[in-house]
């Protein structure tokens, strides 16, 4: 659970990152910033801040903020019912992002994974203007570089509550005091 004070501080910092990246938000969007600490109470190491523009039965668009060296933990977007899982494209807008997927492990990786709960180590470095698309059910995790990062996410519909995390301690739905 995240404290109300830390939540407000993270929202303020998130909005400053959007400004650095030249991302203009409406007042309503500014009021809808989500701060996810994944239930670990370690927001500045493992967490994610985001705004969802839309999430329909066909598409989803979000802006993600990662503070310096903050990581979004390893997870995948599985199939369920008639849904084949979420396909998503990450496009770096500002900063640098280290994205990890299955494949030959990268030596001398930029990010430092949490021991015992990360399993994919093939590194893809994304800088402003670069993007990468993940197929449904692809295990992945990502971490910002030393300045932090702003990333646009374009995907098929998002069902965050269905995401499967490798770390059993993760709680996807944010809880604020």
What CATH number did the domain enclosing 154 receive?
Answer: 2.60.120.10
Quickly count helices (H) and strands (E) in the chain.
2, 9
* Matching residue, tokens 């990581």: 71
Residue 68 lies in a domain: yes
Q: Which residue has the higher pLDDT, 45 or 112?
A: 45
Confidence (pTM) = 0.94
Residue 174 pLDDT > 90: no
**H/E segment holding residue 28:** helix 27-30
Coil, strand or helix at 48: strand
Model confidence band, residue 112 (pLDDT cutoffs 50, 70, 90): confident
Name the region of 39 (left: φ>0; alpha: ψ -120 to 50; beta: rest): left
Residue 27 lies in a domain: yes
Number of domains in the chain: 1
Question: Which domain does 46 fall in, by range?
Answer: 4-165
Coil, strand or helix at 91: strand
Residue 14's Cβ-count burial label (10 Å; 0-12, 13-18, 19+) is buried
Residue 50 lies in a domain: yes
Q: How far, in Å, CA of 31 to CA of 46, rounded?
A: 22
Residue 172 lies in a domain: no
Q: How far, in Å, CA of 92 to CA of 94, rounded?
A: 6
Q: Are 89 and 153 in contact (CB under 8 A)?
A: yes
| Residue 160 neighbours by CB under 8 Å, 6+ apart | 172, 173
Residue 76 lies in a domain: yes
Share of the chain above pLDDT 90, in %: 89
pLDDT digit string, tens, across residues 52-111: 999 999 999 999 999 999 999 999 999 999 999 999 999 999 999 999 999 999 999 999
């Amino acid at each position: 659970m995240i404290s109300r004070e830390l939540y407000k501080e993270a929202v303020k910092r998130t909005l400053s990152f959007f400004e650095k990246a030249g991302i203009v938000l409406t007042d309503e969007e500014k009021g809808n910033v989500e701060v996810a600490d994944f239930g670990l109470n370690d927001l500045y190491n493992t967490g994610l801040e985001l705004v969802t523009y839309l999430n329909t039965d066909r598409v989803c668009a979000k802006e993600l903020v990662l503070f310096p060296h903050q990581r979004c933990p390893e997870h995948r977007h599985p199939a369920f019912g008639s849904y084949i899982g979420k396909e998503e494209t990450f496009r770096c807008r500002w900063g640098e992002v280290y994205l990890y997927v299955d494949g030959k492990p990268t030596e001398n990786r930029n990010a430092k994974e949490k021991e015992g709960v990360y399993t994919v180590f093939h590194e893809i470095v994304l800088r402003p203007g670069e993007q990468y698309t993940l197929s449904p059910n692809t295990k992945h995790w990502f971490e910002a570089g030393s300045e932090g990062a702003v990333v646009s996410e374009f995907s098929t519909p998002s069902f965050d509550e269905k995401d499967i995390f490798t770390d059993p301690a993760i709680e996807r739905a944010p809880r604020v005091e």
